Structure 1
């Protein structure tokens, strides 16, 4: 029979009882009290009785305590099975998920779990079922999200340059104005709202697909909207069409909303009716055009999404007049919430002027 393993000599029974008293781990406290009995001269059988375990378990506690002290008696999570994919393989999986599939090479335009499982097997010879792979991708920080559209001809360098040069452009406009003129930065855009309406997302039980009525008629109107996020104000009109005459009306409406003795820098896209020769630009407004194919720079796009998701989407409009009434009501609700305009519209890069 092998001899009992001696306890390390840099602790006493009182030390262990003090550790047990302040421990927040019930299992550790019980083991410390059991080993304290051995320090007091008690037998291993007495220690096993106090710990409510067998002698072999007491021996395991002694070995753990001798190696790591009281910390060795804390319950640790079992290491579990070795991962099927090592660190390098997981990194490769992250890269392929991040970059997305090549339609010509992989045969799909978006990754499904079954496609990724096939890629993992082809690349590493490791077979993973879809549930296991889904949990792994979740742990790696990926979620299935809706995609923000980006124009295929967009020039990322032009977007970066616009953000960088905006303060200089505003400074140049300010230099041509009377001294002390306040500058307001406004953003402008249009949204078409019609009987072929959007269907926003809604809560539903997992595994179901909720339904909603969808109109097939074609009446529509346009909201001409402009916001000044820094001041929390806006100016809008609901009009039957997009043309230079409508733009002139909207510019006049914005002009009336600019503070007295202030000047508005109105940032907008390059639509033809924005810069047509017959558009009348008020004296207190200067137009500044966004880079081509860059709607995400314009915060009014976020305003449209908010209004559709909360006030305009998922409706059946009875007529053109009904569309106009609903659009006017939605825009007026927005104007009554200046904090919402600030939340939706403020961009740090646009207001470091």
Structure 2
């Protein structure tokens, strides 16, 4: 994409990350009436599925994709999906230093440019907060019998989260992000 093609387009700032969801339980606090103590089963199976996500904090939008693998091929598919969802926008995608983000066979759509986060700085990526929110609301103290059930839970929870624009904004539209002036001159 040339500077002339970018000029005048709306700039969409997105933060991208991947997360792993699986059958291992993450213990969370829960309420129980006194004098009872809550009981939570535990699972130790190491089966996982990955979720690619990218949030637009200013707009309150989130794009996502469930995948069996995390590699350059899957990242290319996700980038194509994001590009197709926002074809009129020039997308500045902030991402971490994962190997699949730097792979030689990664294909980046013309309307997306990457901006790398500093190494070891997940606290700068608001997409990380969305993974925490998803785990807290959709996966607390649950043991899944199989990976298909985990995927079904993701297929229910991700649309719920991405449909709630105000919740997305409240979790990700940090003051330093909202204060940015995004125009392509």
* TM-score, scaled to structure 1: 0.48
4+ aligned runs moved over 2 Å, structure 1 = 174-179, 203-211
For CA contacts below 8 A with separation 6 or more, give which structure has more relative contact order. 2
Q: Which residue of 1 aligns with 2:76?
A: 248
SS of equivalent residue, structure 1 residue 308: helix
Over alpha carbons, which structure has the higher Rg? 1
Counterpart secondary structure, 1:287: strand
Shift of 1:348: 1.3
Alpha-carbon distance between aligned partners in 1 of 2:39 and 2:14, rounded to the nearest angstrom: 38
Partners of 1:209 and 1:274 in 2: how far apart?
Answer: 45
Task: Give the equivalent residue in structure 2 for 1:215.
Answer: 43
How many residue pairs end up in the alignment?
Answer: 180
Say whether 1:319 aligns with 2:146.
yes
Residues 345, 175 of structure 1: CA spacing in aligned structure 2 closer, same or farther, 3 A cutoff? farther
Contact 2:50 2:66 in 1 (8 A): yes
Question: Contact 1:200–1:308 (CA<8 Å) still a contact in 2?
Answer: no
Give the match for residue 234 of structure 1: 62
Q: Distance in 1 between matches of 2:69 and 2:33?
A: 41
Q: Residues 349 and 206 from structure 1, CA distance in 2 versus in 1: closer, same or farther, beyond 3 angstroms?
A: farther
CA distance in 2, matches of 1:179, 1:197: 48
CA displacement at 1:207 relative to structure 2: 8.8
Determine the structure 1 residue equivalent to 2:24.
Answer: 196
Q: 187-196 vs 316-325, which deviates more?
A: 316-325
Task: Give yes or no for contact 2:58–2:169 (8 Å, CA) kept in 1.
Answer: yes
Residue in 1 that maps onto 2:171: 344
- Conserved in 2, the CA contact under 8 Å of 1:184 and 1:263? yes
What is aligned with 2:89? 262
| CA apart distance, 1:205 | 5.8
What is the aligned partner in structure 2 of residue 280 from structure 1? Answer: 107
CA–CA distance in 2 between the matches of 1:343 and 1:315?
26
Within 2, Cα distance between the matches of 1:176 and 1:341?
Answer: 33
Instruction: Return the alpha-carbon distance in structure 1 between the equivalents of residues 151 and 114 of structure 2.
Output: 27
Tell me by how many angstroms 1:177 deviates: 4.9
5+ residue gaps, structure 1:
1-173
Mapping for residues 292-331 of structure 1, pairs under 5 Å? 292-331=119-158
What secondary structure is seen at the aligned counterpart in 2 of 1:199?
coil
1: distance between equivalents of 2:102 and 2:4? 21
Distance 2:15 2:26 in 1: 24
Q: Partners in 1 of 2:99 and 2:21 — Cα distance?
A: 20
Distance 1:224 1:239 in 2: 8
1:291, CA displacement in angstroms? 0.3
C-alpha distance in structure 2 between counterparts of 1:261 and 1:333, whole Å = 25
Of Structure 1 and Structure 2, the greater helix share is in: 1
- Cα deviation for residue 210 of structure 1 reads 3.1
1:250 and 1:197 mapped to 2: Cα distance?
Answer: 27
Q: Is the 8 A contact 1:312 1:330 kept in 2?
A: no
